[in-house]
Amino acid sequence: MTIIDGKKISEDILNEISLEVKQRTNKGYKTPHLAAILVGNDGPSQTYVNSKIKACEKVDFKSSLFSYDSNISEEKLIDEIELINNNDDIDGFIVQLPLPNSINQENILNSVNPNKDVDGFHPINYGKMTIGIDSFIPATPYGILELFKRCKISLDGKKCLVIGRSQIVGRPISILLSQSNEFCNATVTLAHSRTIDLDKLALDSDVIISAIGRPEFLKAEMVKEGAIIIDVGISRVKDDSSKKGYKIVGDVDFKNVSKKASYITPVPGGVGPMTIAMLLRNTLVACRKND
């Protein structure tokens, strides 16, 4: 069994990005600049955005954080996005999700300039990704693909079960894995809350990618010997022994599932850091296009 070290792989990617930034600077090119929009004070969202901003410092990107109160109107938020769309110094930006219920997420994502949409959530980028045209790929699915690539894990012809149909992870990774790419070509099943006999589907799968945010949902009895397990879940679970009062737990019962898996990603230290690395890579690509 191999534990896929997403932290180490993400650091390799950050080093590659950092090197390119230095080379760009030496040649007089612009420093990449990532901006993040955060609405409200959701704890996990604040943590994720802070990690993204911190990662920018590591690779010498410029970063900007735009924070708004949860009662900002949709119209005002769209006006703010328009300002960022028109700010030539910002190469790419993200709107951290989820947004408050009073704001229509679709309207917000549609207002992001697709050329700066480094999250790949604008319908133009999502559509391009779906039909296999070069585009910004959402960072978490992109990070999972990169893990397969760097660990030389081929999914060719394999039965792959994706659990969770979210727009951010489950849906896009299910699309990407079935495409005709060197590390994809999988036979994909996308399971969701209405799926019947999930246990049977899971037991029959060569690869399981779980992205539902339910702590330790995937048990060893649901996994076949030698399966490849990718855990996208990040849940906070009460833990009085930790300083923060909680610990981070994935969708997978790691202790027991790891005994059967051939490859498995840990939580934390698996997919999470890859998401940030791929977001920065998308930002670098956006910046290059402005050269």
Residue 65 lies near ligand GUN (rule: CB under 6 A) = no
Conformational region of residue 91, where left means phi above 0, alpha means psi within -120 to 50, and beta covers everything else: alpha
Which residue among 13, 95, 112, 274 contacts ligand GUN (CB under 6 A)?
95
Does the N-terminal peptide bond of residue 100 adopt cis geometry, omega within 30 degrees of 0? no
Residue 48 · residue 18 · CB < 8 Å: no
Is the Cβ of residue 169 or residue 202 nearer to ligand GUN in the bound state? Answer: 169
Residue 117 lies near ligand GUN (rule: CB under 6 A) = no
Is the Cβ of residue 17 or residue 278 nearer to ligand GUN in the bound state? Answer: 278
Kindly indicate which of the ranges 21-29, 94-102, 177-185, 264-272 contains the residues binding ligand GUN, using the contact rule CB under 6 A.
94-102
Residue 218 lies near ligand GUN (rule: CB under 6 A) = no
Which run of H or of E encompasses 236? Answer: strand 235-238
Catalytic residue set: 52, 96, 119
> In angstroms, rounded to a whole number, what is the distance separating the alpha carbons of residues 121 and 94?
9
Backbone angles phi, psi at 111, to 5 degrees: -90, -5
Is the Cβ of residue 122 or residue 158 nearer to ligand GUN in the bound state? Answer: 122
Residue 168 lies near ligand GUN (rule: CB under 6 A) = yes
Is the Cβ of residue 17 or residue 49 nearer to ligand GUN in the bound state? Answer: 49
Residue 135 · residue 120 · CB < 8 Å: yes
Kindly indicate which of the ranges 95-103, 171-179, 221-229, 240-248 contains the residues binding ligand GUN, using the contact rule CB under 6 A.
95-103
In the DSSP assignment, the letter for residue 221 is G
Residue 96 lies near ligand GUN (rule: CB under 6 A) = yes
> In angstroms, rounded to a whole number, what is the distance separating the alpha carbons of residues 188 and 158?
8
Backbone angles phi, psi at 231, to 5 degrees: -105, 110
Residue 139 lies near ligand GUN (rule: CB under 6 A) = yes
Q: Which residues bind ligand GUN (CB under 6 A)?
A: 94-97, 119, 139-140, 168, 275
